[in-house]
Structure 1
Amino acid sequence: MDEIDEKLLNMIKGNARMTYQEMGNALGMTRMAAKKRVKKLEEAGIIRGYNTTIYREDEVTMMIDITTTPESFEKVLEYVSTRTAFVRQIFRTTKENHIHIVAASTDISDLKYLLKMIQKSCGEEIEHFSCHAVTEIIKDVYGGVRYDKEQRKIRTNQKDI
Protein backbone atom coordinates (compact mmCIF):
# COMPACT_ATOMS: atom_id res chain seq x y z
CA MET A 1 0.00 0.00 0.00
CA ASP A 2 1.40 3.37 -0.97
CA GLU A 3 0.59 7.04 -0.33
CA ILE A 4 -2.00 7.13 -3.14
CA ASP A 5 -3.81 4.13 -1.64
CA GLU A 6 -3.86 5.93 1.73
CA LYS A 7 -5.38 9.04 0.11
CA LEU A 8 -7.96 6.90 -1.68
CA LEU A 9 -8.94 5.13 1.57
CA ASN A 10 -9.32 8.45 3.38
CA MET A 11 -11.57 9.76 0.60
CA ILE A 12 -13.94 6.80 0.57
CA LYS A 13 -13.97 6.43 4.38
CA GLY A 14 -16.48 9.27 4.55
CA ASN A 15 -18.19 8.59 1.22
CA ALA A 16 -18.12 5.00 -0.07
CA ARG A 17 -20.50 6.00 -2.87
CA MET A 18 -17.84 8.18 -4.50
CA THR A 19 -17.54 7.30 -8.19
CA TYR A 20 -14.32 6.04 -9.74
CA GLN A 21 -14.32 9.19 -11.86
CA GLU A 22 -14.45 11.39 -8.74
CA MET A 23 -11.67 9.33 -7.13
CA GLY A 24 -9.54 9.56 -10.25
CA ASN A 25 -10.06 13.31 -10.57
CA ALA A 26 -9.11 13.88 -6.92
CA LEU A 27 -6.01 11.69 -7.24
CA GLY A 28 -4.91 12.94 -10.68
CA MET A 29 -5.49 9.64 -12.48
CA THR A 30 -8.00 8.03 -14.81
CA ARG A 31 -11.26 6.45 -13.73
CA MET A 32 -9.90 3.00 -14.67
CA ALA A 33 -6.70 3.49 -12.66
CA ALA A 34 -8.78 4.42 -9.60
CA LYS A 35 -11.02 1.40 -10.14
CA LYS A 36 -7.98 -0.93 -10.37
CA ARG A 37 -6.59 0.47 -7.11
CA VAL A 38 -9.91 -0.07 -5.32
CA LYS A 39 -10.15 -3.63 -6.67
CA LYS A 40 -6.57 -4.34 -5.52
CA LEU A 41 -7.39 -3.03 -2.02
CA GLU A 42 -10.53 -5.19 -1.91
CA GLU A 43 -8.64 -8.30 -3.00
CA ALA A 44 -5.95 -7.65 -0.37
CA GLY A 45 -8.65 -7.50 2.32
CA ILE A 46 -7.89 -3.88 3.19
CA ILE A 47 -11.33 -2.79 1.99
CA ARG A 48 -13.55 -5.38 3.63
CA GLY A 49 -16.94 -4.04 2.67
CA TYR A 50 -19.18 -1.04 2.21
CA ASN A 51 -21.87 -0.09 4.71
CA THR A 52 -24.79 2.23 4.90
CA THR A 53 -24.91 4.06 8.20
CA ILE A 54 -28.45 4.97 9.13
CA TYR A 55 -29.13 7.63 11.73
CA ARG A 56 -32.19 6.94 13.87
CA GLU A 57 -32.94 9.53 16.49
CA ASP A 58 -34.75 6.96 18.63
CA GLU A 59 -31.95 4.38 18.55
CA VAL A 60 -30.09 3.54 21.76
CA THR A 61 -26.50 2.30 21.53
CA MET A 62 -25.03 0.41 24.45
CA MET A 63 -21.44 -0.51 25.26
CA ILE A 64 -21.13 -3.79 27.14
CA ASP A 65 -17.93 -4.94 28.83
CA ILE A 66 -17.45 -8.51 30.01
CA THR A 67 -14.43 -10.06 31.69
CA THR A 68 -14.68 -13.83 31.86
CA THR A 69 -12.91 -16.46 33.88
CA PRO A 70 -9.86 -17.73 31.96
CA GLU A 71 -11.43 -21.09 31.13
CA SER A 72 -14.76 -19.60 30.02
CA PHE A 73 -13.67 -16.96 27.51
CA GLU A 74 -14.48 -18.99 24.37
CA LYS A 75 -17.83 -20.18 25.76
CA VAL A 76 -18.97 -16.63 26.60
CA LEU A 77 -17.66 -15.30 23.29
CA GLU A 78 -19.61 -17.97 21.40
CA TYR A 79 -22.76 -17.11 23.35
CA VAL A 80 -22.66 -13.34 22.80
CA SER A 81 -21.70 -13.64 19.13
CA THR A 82 -24.71 -15.80 18.25
CA ARG A 83 -27.46 -14.30 20.40
CA THR A 84 -29.11 -11.42 18.65
CA ALA A 85 -29.22 -9.03 15.74
CA PHE A 86 -28.89 -6.14 18.21
CA VAL A 87 -25.18 -6.88 18.65
CA ARG A 88 -23.34 -4.73 16.10
CA GLN A 89 -19.71 -5.31 17.02
CA ILE A 90 -17.69 -7.56 19.30
CA PHE A 91 -14.07 -6.85 20.16
CA ARG A 92 -11.43 -8.85 21.99
CA THR A 93 -9.17 -6.38 23.77
CA THR A 94 -5.69 -6.49 25.24
CA LYS A 95 -7.16 -6.91 28.72
CA GLU A 96 -7.06 -10.58 29.67
CA ASN A 97 -10.37 -12.42 28.93
CA HIS A 98 -12.12 -9.16 28.03
CA ILE A 99 -14.96 -8.78 25.51
CA HIS A 100 -16.31 -5.39 24.43
CA ILE A 101 -19.70 -5.39 22.72
CA VAL A 102 -21.58 -2.63 20.90
CA ALA A 103 -25.33 -3.24 20.70
CA ALA A 104 -28.13 -1.02 19.40
CA SER A 105 -31.90 -1.00 19.15
CA THR A 106 -34.78 1.45 18.86
CA ASP A 107 -36.32 -0.26 21.90
CA ILE A 108 -34.37 -0.12 25.16
CA SER A 109 -36.23 -3.20 26.38
CA ASP A 110 -34.45 -5.23 23.66
CA LEU A 111 -31.09 -4.23 25.12
CA LYS A 112 -32.21 -4.84 28.70
CA TYR A 113 -33.34 -8.31 27.67
CA LEU A 114 -29.99 -8.95 25.97
CA LEU A 115 -28.14 -7.97 29.16
CA LYS A 116 -30.41 -10.15 31.28
CA MET A 117 -29.88 -13.16 29.01
CA ILE A 118 -26.09 -12.75 29.00
CA GLN A 119 -26.06 -12.58 32.80
CA LYS A 120 -28.48 -15.51 33.15
CA SER A 121 -26.70 -17.78 30.66
CA CYS A 122 -23.09 -16.84 31.44
CA GLY A 123 -23.25 -15.49 34.99
CA GLU A 124 -21.01 -18.19 36.47
CA GLU A 125 -18.37 -17.59 33.79
CA ILE A 126 -18.30 -13.79 34.17
CA GLU A 127 -15.94 -12.04 36.60
CA HIS A 128 -16.94 -8.49 35.63
CA PHE A 129 -19.94 -7.17 33.72
CA SER A 130 -20.81 -3.54 32.99
CA CYS A 131 -22.80 -1.60 30.44
CA HIS A 132 -23.32 2.02 29.51
CA ALA A 133 -25.71 3.67 27.09
CA VAL A 134 -24.22 6.17 24.64
CA THR A 135 -25.54 9.66 25.31
CA GLU A 136 -23.66 11.56 22.61
CA ILE A 137 -21.59 10.67 19.55
CA ILE A 138 -18.56 12.93 19.43
CA LYS A 139 -16.89 11.46 16.36
CA ASP A 140 -17.60 8.53 14.06
CA VAL A 141 -15.53 8.62 10.88
CA TYR A 142 -17.25 5.55 9.50
CA GLY A 143 -20.70 6.99 10.05
CA GLY A 144 -19.80 10.38 8.60
CA VAL A 145 -20.17 12.11 11.96
CA ARG A 146 -17.99 14.89 13.25
CA TYR A 147 -18.49 17.09 16.28
CA ASP A 148 -18.81 20.86 15.96
CA LYS A 149 -17.54 22.10 19.33
CA GLU A 150 -18.56 25.70 18.66
CA GLN A 151 -22.23 24.89 18.10
CA ARG A 152 -22.30 21.69 20.20
CA LYS A 153 -23.95 19.91 17.30
CA ILE A 154 -23.19 16.68 15.55
CA ARG A 155 -22.80 17.13 11.82
CA THR A 156 -23.11 14.42 9.21
CA ASN A 157 -22.16 14.59 5.55
CA GLN A 158 -25.80 15.52 4.91
CA LYS A 159 -27.19 17.64 7.75
CA ASP A 160 -27.05 18.71 11.37
CA ILE A 161 -28.34 16.38 14.02
Structure 2
Amino acid sequence: MDKINWAILEELQKNARVSFTEIGRKIGLTSPAVAERVKKMEDAGVIKGYQTKLSHQKMGYQLRAIINLRAFTGRLKAFLETVKNFEEIVNCYRITGNENIIMEVVLHDQVHLEKLIDKLITYGETRTHIILSDVIEDAPVRQWKD
Protein backbone atom coordinates (compact mmCIF):
# COMPACT_ATOMS: atom_id res chain seq x y z
CA MET A 1 0.00 0.00 0.00
CA ASP A 2 1.56 3.23 -1.12
CA LYS A 3 0.39 6.81 -0.61
CA ILE A 4 -1.48 6.82 -3.92
CA ASN A 5 -3.51 3.74 -2.98
CA TRP A 6 -4.29 5.32 0.39
CA ALA A 7 -5.49 8.47 -1.39
CA ILE A 8 -7.74 6.38 -3.63
CA LEU A 9 -9.16 4.53 -0.62
CA GLU A 10 -9.80 7.80 1.17
CA GLU A 11 -11.87 9.06 -1.77
CA LEU A 12 -13.77 5.77 -2.08
CA GLN A 13 -14.57 5.77 1.64
CA LYS A 14 -16.07 9.25 1.30
CA ASN A 15 -18.19 8.16 -1.68
CA ALA A 16 -17.92 4.68 -3.19
CA ARG A 17 -19.84 5.89 -6.26
CA VAL A 18 -17.31 8.56 -7.20
CA SER A 19 -15.94 8.12 -10.71
CA PHE A 20 -12.38 7.06 -11.39
CA THR A 21 -12.04 10.27 -13.40
CA GLU A 22 -12.96 12.37 -10.36
CA ILE A 23 -10.57 10.42 -8.11
CA GLY A 24 -7.81 10.82 -10.70
CA ARG A 25 -8.43 14.57 -10.91
CA LYS A 26 -8.10 14.90 -7.13
CA ILE A 27 -4.94 12.82 -6.75
CA GLY A 28 -3.20 13.47 -10.08
CA LEU A 29 -3.71 10.19 -11.96
CA THR A 30 -5.49 9.21 -15.14
CA SER A 31 -8.82 7.41 -14.92
CA PRO A 32 -7.33 4.14 -16.30
CA ALA A 33 -4.51 4.28 -13.73
CA VAL A 34 -7.05 4.69 -10.91
CA ALA A 35 -9.17 1.83 -12.31
CA GLU A 36 -6.11 -0.44 -12.47
CA ARG A 37 -5.14 0.31 -8.88
CA VAL A 38 -8.71 -0.22 -7.64
CA LYS A 39 -8.91 -3.55 -9.50
CA LYS A 40 -5.62 -4.69 -7.91
CA MET A 41 -6.88 -3.71 -4.44
CA GLU A 42 -10.14 -5.59 -5.08
CA ASP A 43 -8.24 -8.68 -6.29
CA ALA A 44 -5.96 -8.53 -3.22
CA GLY A 45 -8.96 -8.30 -0.87
CA VAL A 46 -8.06 -4.82 0.38
CA ILE A 47 -11.40 -3.59 -1.01
CA LYS A 48 -13.93 -6.19 0.09
CA GLY A 49 -16.98 -4.67 -1.56
CA TYR A 50 -19.29 -1.70 -1.87
CA GLN A 51 -22.47 -1.22 0.10
CA THR A 52 -25.53 0.94 0.52
CA LYS A 53 -25.87 2.66 3.88
CA LEU A 54 -29.40 2.64 5.22
CA SER A 55 -31.15 4.86 7.72
CA HIS A 56 -32.61 2.38 10.17
CA GLN A 57 -34.63 5.16 11.78
CA LYS A 58 -36.32 6.12 8.51
CA MET A 59 -37.10 2.44 7.97
CA GLY A 60 -39.09 2.29 11.22
CA TYR A 61 -36.39 1.16 13.65
CA GLN A 62 -36.56 3.87 16.30
CA LEU A 63 -34.34 2.20 18.89
CA ARG A 64 -30.73 1.06 18.71
CA ALA A 65 -28.85 -0.77 21.42
CA ILE A 66 -25.61 -2.51 22.24
CA ILE A 67 -26.15 -5.90 23.85
CA ASN A 68 -23.37 -7.84 25.52
CA LEU A 69 -23.84 -11.59 25.92
CA ARG A 70 -22.06 -13.83 28.39
CA ALA A 71 -22.83 -17.28 27.03
CA PHE A 72 -23.87 -20.07 29.35
CA THR A 73 -21.49 -23.03 29.46
CA GLY A 74 -21.97 -25.01 26.27
CA ARG A 75 -24.24 -22.41 24.59
CA LEU A 76 -21.71 -20.23 22.75
CA LYS A 77 -21.43 -22.56 19.75
CA ALA A 78 -25.23 -22.75 19.43
CA PHE A 79 -25.42 -18.95 19.50
CA LEU A 80 -22.68 -18.58 16.87
CA GLU A 81 -24.57 -21.00 14.60
CA THR A 82 -27.87 -19.06 14.85
CA VAL A 83 -26.81 -15.41 15.25
CA LYS A 84 -27.25 -14.70 11.53
CA ASN A 85 -30.94 -15.59 11.87
CA PHE A 86 -31.62 -12.62 14.17
CA GLU A 87 -32.77 -9.86 11.82
CA GLU A 88 -32.33 -7.21 14.52
CA ILE A 89 -28.58 -7.78 14.85
CA VAL A 90 -26.67 -5.51 12.45
CA ASN A 91 -23.19 -6.05 13.89
CA CYS A 92 -21.91 -8.88 16.06
CA TYR A 93 -18.41 -9.48 17.40
CA ARG A 94 -16.85 -12.27 19.44
CA ILE A 95 -14.74 -10.52 22.09
CA THR A 96 -12.40 -11.13 24.99
CA GLY A 97 -13.29 -10.33 28.57
CA ASN A 98 -16.24 -11.21 30.79
CA GLU A 99 -18.70 -11.34 27.92
CA ASN A 100 -18.24 -13.46 24.79
CA ILE A 101 -20.30 -11.43 22.34
CA ILE A 102 -21.12 -7.78 21.69
CA MET A 103 -23.93 -6.88 19.30
CA GLU A 104 -25.40 -3.75 17.78
CA VAL A 105 -29.14 -4.15 17.27
CA VAL A 106 -31.88 -2.08 15.64
CA LEU A 107 -35.41 -2.31 16.98
CA HIS A 108 -38.85 -0.83 16.46
CA ASP A 109 -39.43 -0.03 20.13
CA GLN A 110 -39.00 -1.24 23.73
CA VAL A 111 -41.42 -4.13 23.21
CA HIS A 112 -39.28 -5.33 20.30
CA LEU A 113 -36.19 -5.05 22.54
CA GLU A 114 -37.87 -7.11 25.25
CA LYS A 115 -38.76 -9.86 22.76
CA LEU A 116 -35.18 -9.95 21.45
CA ILE A 117 -33.75 -10.18 24.95
CA ASP A 118 -36.17 -13.03 25.71
CA LYS A 119 -34.67 -14.92 22.74
CA LEU A 120 -31.08 -14.09 23.66
CA ILE A 121 -31.33 -15.17 27.31
CA THR A 122 -31.66 -18.78 26.19
CA TYR A 123 -27.98 -18.49 25.19
CA GLY A 124 -26.62 -16.53 28.13
CA GLU A 125 -26.75 -13.51 30.39
CA THR A 126 -27.30 -10.19 28.62
CA ARG A 127 -26.41 -6.60 29.40
CA THR A 128 -28.11 -3.91 27.32
CA HIS A 129 -27.10 -0.32 26.57
CA ILE A 130 -29.44 2.00 24.65
CA ILE A 131 -27.64 4.06 21.99
CA LEU A 132 -28.47 7.76 22.29
CA SER A 133 -26.45 9.11 19.36
CA ASP A 134 -23.47 8.46 17.09
CA VAL A 135 -20.29 10.22 18.15
CA ILE A 136 -18.20 8.93 15.25
CA GLU A 137 -20.18 7.66 12.29
CA ASP A 138 -18.55 5.66 9.52
CA ALA A 139 -15.00 6.64 10.41
CA PRO A 140 -12.69 5.97 7.47
CA VAL A 141 -9.70 3.67 7.76
CA ARG A 142 -6.62 5.84 7.55
CA GLN A 143 -2.96 5.21 6.93
CA TRP A 144 -0.98 5.06 10.17
CA LYS A 145 1.61 7.80 10.35
CA ASP A 146 4.61 7.03 12.56
Unpaired runs of 5+ residues, structure 2, are: 141-146
Counterpart residue number, 1:50: 50
> Contact 2:117–2:126 (CA<8 Å) still a contact in 1?
no
Matched, 1:66 2:63: no
**Displacement after TM superposition at 1:63 (Å):** 0.7
**1:54 CA drift (Å):** 2.5
Q: Which moved more, 1:53-62 or 1:7-16?
A: 53-62
1:95 to partner: Cα distance: 2.6
Runs of at least 4 residues of structure 1 off by over 4 A?
Answer: none
Out of 82, 86, 104, the position equivalent to 1:102 is 104
* Equivalent pair of 2:91/2:105 in contact (CA under 8 Å): yes
* Partner Cα separation in structure 2 for residue 59 and residue 89 of structure 1: 17
For residues 48-69 of structure 1, the C-alpha deviation after alignment (integer angstroms, 9 at most, x for no partner) is 1222222335632111111224
Q: 19-28 or 39-48, which moves further after superposition?
A: 39-48
| 1:110 CA drift (Å) | 2.8
Unpaired segments of 5 or more residues in structure 1?
A: 144-161
- Is residue 88 of structure 1 aligned with residue 90 of structure 2? yes
Q: What is the TM-score of this pair, normalised by structure 2?
A: 0.80
Q: How many residues align?
A: 137
**Matched ranges for 1:17-32 at <5 A:** 17-32=17-32
| Aligned counterparts of 1:75 and 1:13: Cα–Cα separation in 2 | 35
Q: Percent identity among equivalent residues?
A: 25
Alignment RMSD:
2.2
Contact 2:90–2:103, Cα closer than 8 Å, also in 1: yes
2:137 alignment counterpart? 140
